[in-house]
Amino acid sequence: MAEQLNRFPVDMGTIPVYLGDSTNLLTARILEDDGVTPVDLSSDWSAWRAVWRRQATSESFVELDVTVSGEAVSVDLTPEITREMGARGGVFDVQATSNAGQVRTWFKGMTSPTRDVTR
């Protein structure tokens, strides 16, 4: 079944991030239009990449850890990355390239930080 392109990127909203902690930013499966069949994200898509910036127009960025296994994609933040984010929020997105060369932003969202007490 063909995917509806207008449903991407999926807006994940604002995700709280506790600075200094490991955090799962997202774990998701994408389903075909039938609502049942999962899209094979590891066979049909490659070059997965996730980036966080203070603002979409910021020059500096933090590369995030993306893991794809079959039909699921996960983006995880290490304690070092959450500390690097600092006390301000930011924006992120997750992209991949199809076997046909199409680049798609699959997910987007914002982060809201909370400083950790134990540093």
Tens digit of pLDDT for each residue in 22-42?
Answer: 999 999 988 887 888 888 888
Q: CA 31, CA 112: separation in Å to the nearest integer?
A: 28
Strand partners of residue 76:
24, 65
CA atoms within 13 A on the CB side of 99: 5
What is the model's pLDDT at position 2?
42
Question: Containing domain of residue 72, as a range?
Answer: 5-114
Task: Give the pTM.
Answer: 0.85
Residue 66 has pLDDT above 70, yes or no: yes
Higher pLDDT, 7 or 102: 102
SS3 54: coil
HEC secondary structure over 11-50: EEEEEEEECCCCEEEEEEECECCCCCCECCHHHHEEEEEE
Q: What's the count of helices (H) and strands (E) in the chain, helices before strands?
A: 2, 7
**Residue 119 in domain:** no
Mean pLDDT of 59-85: 92
Calculate the CA dihedral of residues 58, 41, 33, 109 and round it to 10 degrees. -20
Residue 18 belongs to a domain with what CATH number? 2.60.40.10
**Residue 79 in domain:** yes
Mean pLDDT of 43-58: 93
pLDDT band at 6 (very low <50, low <70, confident <90, very high): low
What's the number of domains the chain is made of?
A: 1
Average pLDDT, the chain: 89
**Residue 13 in domain:** yes
